[in-house]
Structure 1
């Protein structure tokens, strides 16, 4: 079965609820940017050193489908009846992760370069794509009714990406120091 439908050959696309809209509509641009973010999150989770961070990011990747699905639906009620949705619990979950990592990581006293490790750099890309998607979402929500919980979740999401980038940079630094200590120990022992 081919993956193409030819339905978009005239510049329109089908939404979750079956309605067709122009591909350059703000709705499509908004959920498309969140799709771009999700692809970048997937890359970040593959680059992560920390298994815990990988698992957290994979969990967020699944949540992104619910976010995108709701944005990709003109008939929100139909989506709410047929799919899982972003909830206040999801916002709280992001806040808990941010708060936990903020207390565990060394304090930041100045601006930091975006990514001292490969995973950290990729997570900063996620943060910036998320901010762009948030700006589009704000424009989109000016003329469209959206559930306020989506705005809160999206706003926490970029802070979440920032703290995950810091975590991965810290993990990479600890691993680098550990490897250097082991290397020097091995040299001192004549190995």
Structure 2
């Protein structure tokens, strides 16, 4: 099988179901952003596998990668020809993981600057890319119908990456750097 088809040489691509659209179509842009996020998560997994203390955190990330691929497939399949679903249980499972990690973290009073351990910094990159994905999905949802559970999941996912970054720094004994110029912003 050849990897190149030459169909995209004129700036077109096909959605699942055969509809041809331009590569700058909002839907194509959205699933491209999801694909980029999945790659960032793959890098995060690779960095975490380098740290024995973080091994138990890899499996949830690999599940997230599958969920992101599901979201990309839903976006590429405008009329749901593949009859894919994105159950609310994925959101609930993610919230459970967030709560477990967050309960082990010290409270914060200030904004946290991205950084610390390499894996924590990459979790912050994943968080910011997730926010971009969310903005893209919101824009698409103003023009076309998209899976609402997938949108909620992406919103929750950025929270997960924030908590994960903090947890990684705590686990690896890296100090967090706080932005204090605006004073305390969180009042516990």
Structure 2 CA distance, aligned partners of 1:6 and 1:141?
A: 30
Q: Partner of 2:179 in structure 1?
A: none
Return the TM-score normalized by structure 2. Answer: 0.86
Structure 1 segments, 4+ long, off by >4 Å, are none
2:33, 2:133 within 8 Å by CA — same for their partners in 1? yes
Residue in structure 2 matching 1:79, options 77, 82, 88: 82
The reply on whether 1:54 has 2:44 as its aligned counterpart is no
Q: Partner of 2:148 in structure 1?
A: 148
- Structure 1, unmatched stretches of 5+, are 175-191
Range that drifts further, 1-10 or 120-129: 1-10
Q: Which has the larger radius of gyration?
A: 1
Structure 1 CA distance, aligned partners of 2:69 and 2:145?
A: 19
More helix by share: 1
Per-residue CA shift, 1:26-68, capped at 9, x if unaligned?
A: 1111110010000000000111131111111111111111010
SS of equivalent to 2:152: helix
Following TM superposition, by how much is the alpha carbon of 1:16 offset from its aligned partner in structure 2, in angstroms? 2.0
Q: Partner of 2:44 in structure 1?
A: 44
SS of equivalent to 1:108: coil
1:19, 1:74 within 8 Å by CA — same for their partners in 2? no
2:86, 2:147 within 8 Å by CA — same for their partners in 1? no
- Counting matched residue pairs gives 170
